[in-house]
Amino acid sequence: MPRHHEDEFEMKTAFAIGALSVLVFIAAPAQPYLWRNVVIGGGGFVTGLLAHPGARGLLYARTDVGGAYRWDAASRKWVPLTDWVRGIDFTGIESFAVDPSDTNRIYLAAGIYRQTRAAILRSTDRGQTWQVTQVPFKMGGNELGRFNGERLAVDPEDGKILFFGSRHDGLWKSADYGATWFRVDAFPQPTAKAPSSDADADGWRGRFNFPPQEVGIVFVQFAPRDGRDGIPTLTIYAGVSTTSTNLFRSDDGGLHWSPVPGQPLGLRPNHAVLSPDGTIYLTYGKQAGPNTMTDGKVWKFNPQNNLWTDITPLKSPDGDQPFGYGAISVDAENPPAIVVTTFARWHPHDDIFRSTNGGASWMPLLQNAVWDYSFAPYTRNRTPHWMGSVQIDPFDSNHVWFTTGYGVWESKDLTDADAGKPTHWDFCDNGLEETVPLALISPPAGAHLLSGLGDIDGFRHDDLDASPAGGTFAGPHFGNTEDLAFAAQNPAIIVRTGLGGNGSAHGAISRDGGTHWSAFPGEPPDSRGGGTIAVSADGKTIVWTLRGDAPQYSDDGGANWSACAGLSPGLRVVADPMNPLRFYGFNSRDDKIFASTNGAESFSETGAAVALENDPPGYGFGTGGLAATPGREGDLWLAMRDGGLFHSADGGVNFTKLRNVEIADAIGFGRAADGTDFPALYLSGKVGGVAGTFRSTDAGASWMRINDDAHQFGAITRLTGDPRIFGRVYLATSGRGVIYGDPAK
């Protein structure tokens, strides 16, 4: 069999050497920074939970875009394990596994999309340090079926052996703790038509196509047995996300595979769990989820007699169920006790069902549940959904967790339900900040930070270390708040754009620093929502570029809108911070700069295209583009990912390229250093051959790296300094929420 072993390298969460290397390439000394999350409390899809069967309180969580975490039971806080990752490739965790015989080993299958790199990350110290092996099989940590699993499994009898079920490339095996991998060619591969019935499957030895969703092999399970340590497990199960034959078994350690007889057809399996008594429980839906799932079922299989039993908790009268079933967990201390979650049951709500007799009867848990929203008040207005994982504590039958599309809930009185009592649930998300910030502003007055977020609207942050007491923005609610801007000379006036959520409003204005919001009295014709927004220095003119449309301006508080003459669709406009009549725009398609001196009624080219024509316009992961320097009229910065960083002091007529900046993903401004009059610059990009986050106190003449290799936080899409606190910077990440940094004292 072909064996694959790409160049292997070691990643660690402490990088003294990396910090020193900055000093070699950057003239100014690096300054240590303290990095913390701006506390929101969850906000993203936690796709899996995994409790180690051999260590009380040792729990791991994986997310679709925000990496992996370990629960610290002593501090009751989640510890991020993948902040050393730079870029998005390894921020989506496809699957994870622990070695049941070693409480220190943890493995992550990391790869966010089929188009990005994929790797197996392995640690022997509970995620404090990592070794990385890039692999040829592709993953989809943020694709369909991302909560299915687990695809990755460690042999409980021989910890050197791992199996991984891929989406597109079949089944893979490692025999050296995940360092090298080879394809298991005996497992059915996605190259021919799937069988359509059990009769076909009984004598089937062919190959089949994965479904168009290409979710592939969704779980691998080693069968429990009374064996000797070091002797590999012989019986292994693997499930494939297809409505045809989908459950396979090997009785010789993976050398040969055959369909499990009598298995139900017509639905896709998404989770399987093996009980200590040998019973296998499986959940099904017609779709892989999470966007939708219908026709759910729960089955159990007894390998001793090949008996299948339908134990579905809730069935609609006509058999047409508008929801599926997702996660399932067995009580290790009392194997007949199990819990299972519904999935995509929007009406009336998703639920957890509990059985104490192996699925013969069930009781719902959440209908009379008591919820504690105090840690993250915004959750009060949310119903648990996308319940992708559920885990009974292997050391405590009363203790259970489940995940949602916005975080983790925990109960410590699970068995009270057996006596008809309500269960109590706390939002167990301290430290697990998985949001995708789309906009950040730090005004010179009022709250130090306002954030616009994907899926959960946005917040005014009066206290960076506590989830806002009032929840999300008070006023029109957007699913996504896509952009924010404040009037530089009247910062109580703030505008924002949004998409989705309740109501039809797509834009809103606040006149009290973001405490209260009102929808714009009017919107441009055929408004599709979202997009970017700017507001003049005095707050009287608003310029809005809706998705796919040309910029429009309003000079009456958003009641009426007119096209900005001279600008093409999709162009982002920024306001001059001093002169309310001046606005600027950059067209990345032809590298042209535009300016307006009449309150955005019309724009004309500045003639700066010649200086930029040899630089590619791509921005990479950052927002890049044009930014105006606070407190200075006509002072502009242009961040172009591959083109670098450019500066203009004359309103965009002439630009100078900063030769010391190779990549500029995002640029922001903060309070000037003592003794200087130019705002501090903050940059996410590459300077002197080093990728990281940087600060300049001399208008870009020199740069100091302020992060280290342990604090890369994935991809930094935008950043801004604080105009009132020198050295403070806010980072918008691609899935680790909002991070803020201060110089270490």
| Whole-number Å distance between alpha carbons of 744 and 486 | 30
d(CA 193, CA 211): 10
- DSSP assignment of 436-505: -EEEEE--SSSSSEEEEESSSBEEEESSTTS--TT-S-SSS--SEEEEEEEETTEEEEEEEEEESSSSS-
Residues in the chain with pLDDT values less than 70: 1-29, 189-213, 226-229, 316-321, 501-504, 609-624
What's the pLDDT score for residue 612?
Answer: 52
- Do the bridges between strand 370-372 and strand 424-427 make them parallel or antiparallel, or are there none, so unpaired? parallel
Is residue 185 among the annotated active site residues?
no
Give the model's pLDDT for residue 529. 79
pLDDT of residue 713: 97
* Cβ neighbours around 525 below 10 Å, total: 8
Take residue 44 and report the two structure tokens written for it. 């993203």
CA–CA dist 736, 714 (Å, integer): 8
What's the rounded Cα separation, in Å, for the pair 717 and 730?
Answer: 11
| Catalytic residue selected from 64, 83, 457, 483 | 64
Examine residue 290 and say whether the peptide bond preceding it is cis (omega within 30 degrees of 0): yes
Would you say the pTM of this structure is higher than 0.75? yes
Tokens of 439: 């906009």
Q: Residue holding tokens 């990350």?
A: 121
Q: What pLDDT is attached to residue 210?
A: 40
C-alpha–C-alpha distance, residues 269 and 254, integer Å: 20
How far is Cα 299 from Cα 315, in angstroms, rounded to an integer?
A: 13
Cβ count near 266 (within 10 Å): 11
At residue 81, the pLDDT reads 98
Give the three-state DSSP class for 557: coil
Give the tokens for residue 65.
Answer: 């875009």
Dist. CA 122–CA 108, nearest whole Å: 6
The active-site residue, picked from 198, 455, 462, 555, is: 455
Look at residue 26 in the predicted model and tell me its pLDDT: 38
CA-nearest of 647, 650, 550, 640 to 595 is 650
Residue spans of alpha helices (H) in 332-442 = none
305-308, long-range: CB < 8 A, 24+ apart: 306/260, 306/261, 306/262, 307/262, 308/262, 308/263, 308/264
- Beta strand 119-123 pairing with 297-302: unpaired
Task: Give, in degrees to the nearest 5, the angle at Cα 375 between 370 and 376.
Answer: 95
Taking residue 134's Cβ as centre, other Cβ atoms within 10 Å add up to: 18
| Residue-level pLDDT at 125 | 98
- Structure token pair of residue 150: 């687990």
Q: What is the per-residue pLDDT for 623? A: 55
Q: 590: phi > 0 → left, psi -120 to 50 → alpha, else beta; which?
A: alpha
**What is the spatial distance between Cα 189 and Cα 697, in angstroms, rounded to a whole number?**
58
Q: Check if 64 is active-site.
A: yes
Other Cβ atoms within 10 Å of 741 Cβ, number: 23
Closest CA to 666 of 732, 713, 588, 575: 732
- The three-class DSSP label of residue 4 is strand
pLDDT of residue 17: 23
